[in-house]
Structure 1
């Protein structure tokens, strides 16, 4: 169902466009303009003549042929607008921001079904209603921010909730995660999480496609389709993580009122995700963190060196890794220890103290890379107690992550004391 008109439109019409960028119809237009959409942009609003510098059409019937129609108008007006675009303007892709459909009432459900029938009859695709939109490297058709960096090797992110997509992206972006595409499917009237996964599977290119998929799911209405295409993508080398919300009685009720999602038992969800090979997460932090881990090469083994300048976090990480199948083998090197400050330890965790330097970190990483054959990967915990700037440490860490054969997983613990240094580190890519 997903088509090129949705992914790479040559023309977009915003029905309900506005000069008021605090409204969805105004903000989506601003996002498209600010991010230099290369196709043709059209705006429809019966009350305006110029909107954000563009000539405004008073009626969709006056538009030329349109690839993608974006609707930011009341629900009751959507069926007629979709019909005009689909039947007279050859529009094959639609994004409907509007709420007030099957998640709200029987009348809303009727309006939604009418839209789906029109889109299906004309061979089009529909995202929404009740969503924030779609982003690909070709267009940023959302009425929200932030707009992540959209690159081919970023993460494909599919969300059943628009606001949740925003909150997950906020956390992920600040931690350096890049995106390839974002799909907010809302009510999933025609296209849901399963259909997006199906498209990504059927059109997977091992040289071009993203190999990381992140999902926020409120309803699994087609478990067989989810299982089939998630498993297929994983066999092709992809890694997938997901949050499935709405599994408690109260959560199910909340999901139903939010997007009209149907309930699923938590046991069944666990079994399905495990069978598919999907890593289940339970918070935005966990989903973004797992997505970040997925950007690293797979572990060549399960033996980890923990490199730290703070003892407590290293102890907690040792427990977490050890309890989940990762070995923290003991290490010994008087030569390396002699290069560190008194009081340091190389036993694993390798603790080079709060006053540790960039030069010492480089030495430790080189030992783990070249001398410690019993180590397969490194986790580096580094923040700061606020004694001095540590830009040089993060520069070394970036250089070693690029040059070392063994994977290095950075753990950025100080979000206040070294906020600027972490921003610098993330900016390095």
Structure 2
């Protein structure tokens, strides 16, 4: 059975049994059932509680064994000491997948670890794949599934989010919503007693709703399996690996029971398989947004159009710091630019179109640089100065993105101006245009697109070699 078939009951269930559903709004079992219903799940939902007849208008069952219909997914929210009994009943019922939200397992010490191993052994014998324990659960805005105990849903998009931290996971959902970044699937992986990072990479790599895999990881249990899954992945992977310092590594032990391992080893592994490493949530989403909505760069040459010369200089520094280049423009491009530029500026890269530029000059300059063979990535800067026309610049960006798709060159925006131009910036984000408030973040996104281009080149070489 393929990993897609194994995990489909968890991530695309047609029926869900909430085992531990409660009538008390003070309990996690109440919130879990509520979220499943509020989320708009289109399948059947079965509350399981031996002390209730009805919960939220649904018939309640004393046990999963009392449900006559088939169950794809068991959402388990009972205390840790009862989970093994519940899992035996799920095995007898032939439930296909389980999410164990309950905490109190390997993350708390040897006794919890013993209970965790007992539960997973029961599940494995019954061929039930398990997400968790100690997990927030799973959310999918593209499929209207909220199999979690925490309220809050992401906007639909093309980035899958995997997190070993449940609290951070929900925080990242709210961050993504504020930044207008859409997500396809949000998976809180918890203790990874069964389903692990490698399984999820393999599954999401074949998921039609996902273009980029973004991950928060504290530790990897099976390095060889992870390495193989990442090497085979066709989609870009961006990872925040936490616990890279001594104090951070100690914190992961009590958080999810993970052994963090040497950060140098993780760095080496990530480089081997071309995983893009980020060092915080902001950087992870900056890279993922660019990778999801722009093509990979074929080279390292970056063209810069700016209405403020200083911003172009700062960006040039950051690009070179990150191993990219700001090349000279071709003679043809310079000749074309000379026709549209005022006499007080020069046709060079970075290109300062000066502060009085409007829609046409901004668009024409971007158009000329995109057509230049020396340019692989275009970054359009808008500095909100006295003469700036942010709304016109936004229109120019959208026009270039629409008209120049055939060139397969990524377009990034860097807008500096704060709250006064926030409305315009949000309109670009809503159209999935990567836009960043600083030169450093824009340069990092450009580097992600360049690195993805090199990864794609390597995959093509491997494919050609395999055919020989």
CA gap 1:410/1:240 in 2 versus in 1, 3 angstroms: same
Contact (CA 8 Å) 2:106, 2:257: kept in 1 or not? yes
Give, in angstroms, the shift of residue 79 of structure 1: 1.9
Distance 1:366 1:278 in 2: 32
Among 8, 15, 21, which residue is 1:11 paired with?
A: 15
Q: 1:211-360 counterparts in 2 under 5 A?
A: 211-233=211-233, 237-295=234-292, 296-331=294-329, 333=334, 336=337, 339=340, 346-353=347-354, 356-360=357-361
Give the stretch that moved more between structures: 97-106 or 172-181.
Answer: 172-181
Distance 1:21 1:396 in 2: 51
Contact (CA 8 Å) 1:168, 1:285: kept in 2 or not? no
CA gap 1:388/1:366 in 2 versus in 1, 3 angstroms: closer
Give, in angstroms, the shift of residue 324 of structure 1: 2.5
Among 172, 179, 186, which residue is 1:182 paired with?
A: 186
Among 32, 39, 50, which residue is 2:36 paired with?
A: 32
Give, in angstroms, the shift of residue 346 of structure 1: 4.3
Contact (CA 8 Å) 2:311, 2:383: kept in 1 or not? no
Distance 2:392 2:305 in 1: 17
Partner SS for 1:328: coil
Distance 1:27 1:287 in 2: 29
TM-score normalised by the chain length of structure 1: 0.87
Distance 1:415 1:33 in 2: 39
Report the RMSD for the aligned CA atoms in angstroms: 2.8
Contact (CA 8 Å) 1:395, 1:425: kept in 2 or not? no
Partner SS for 2:368: helix
TM-score normalised by the chain length of structure 2: 0.81
Distance 1:227 1:412 in 2: 38
Distance 1:18 1:134 in 2: 19
Structure 1 residue 210 corresponds to structure 2 residue 216: no
**Other-structure match for 1:400:** 400
Distance 2:154 2:54 in 1: 29
Q: 1:63-142 counterparts in 2 under 5 A?
A: 63-64=67-68, 65-87=70-92, 89-136=93-140, 137-138=142-143, 139-142=145-148
**Other-structure match for 2:455:** none
Structure 1 residue 424 corresponds to structure 2 residue 427: yes
Distance 2:71 2:202 in 1: 26
Contact (CA 8 Å) 2:107, 2:254: kept in 1 or not? yes
**Other-structure match for 1:62:** 66
CA gap 1:412/1:255 in 2 versus in 1, 3 angstroms: farther
**Other-structure match for 2:363:** 362
Contact (CA 8 Å) 2:241, 2:279: kept in 1 or not? yes
- Superimposed CA distance per residue, residues 208-267 of structure 1 (whole angstroms, 9 cap, x where no aligned partner): 46342222111122111111110111xxx4222211111211111100000000131111
CA gap 1:175/1:351 in 2 versus in 1, 3 angstroms: farther
CA gap 1:21/1:277 in 2 versus in 1, 3 angstroms: farther
Contact (CA 8 Å) 2:328, 2:374: kept in 1 or not? no
Structure 1 residue 157 corresponds to structure 2 residue 155: no
Give, in angstroms, the shift of residue 352 of structure 1: 3.5
CA gap 1:398/1:105 in 2 versus in 1, 3 angstroms: same
**Other-structure match for 1:148:** 154
Give, in angstroms, the shift of residue 146 of structure 1: 4.1
Distance 2:52 2:390 in 1: 53
Give, in angstroms, the shift of residue 391 of structure 1: 3.6
**Other-structure match for 1:409:** 412
- Superimposed CA distance per residue, residues 76-110 of structure 1 (whole angstroms, 9 cap, x where no aligned partner): 222222222221x2212111112111101322222
Give, in angstroms, the shift of residue 367 of structure 1: 1.7
- Superimposed CA distance per residue, residues 92-133 of structure 1 (whole angstroms, 9 cap, x where no aligned partner): 211111211110132222221121111111110100111111
Distance 2:258 2:367 in 1: 51
Give, in angstroms, the shift of residue 313 of structure 1: 3.7
Partner SS for 1:416: helix
Give, in angstroms, the shift of residue 336 of structure 1: 3.6
Partner SS for 1:103: helix
CA gap 1:383/1:140 in 2 versus in 1, 3 angstroms: farther
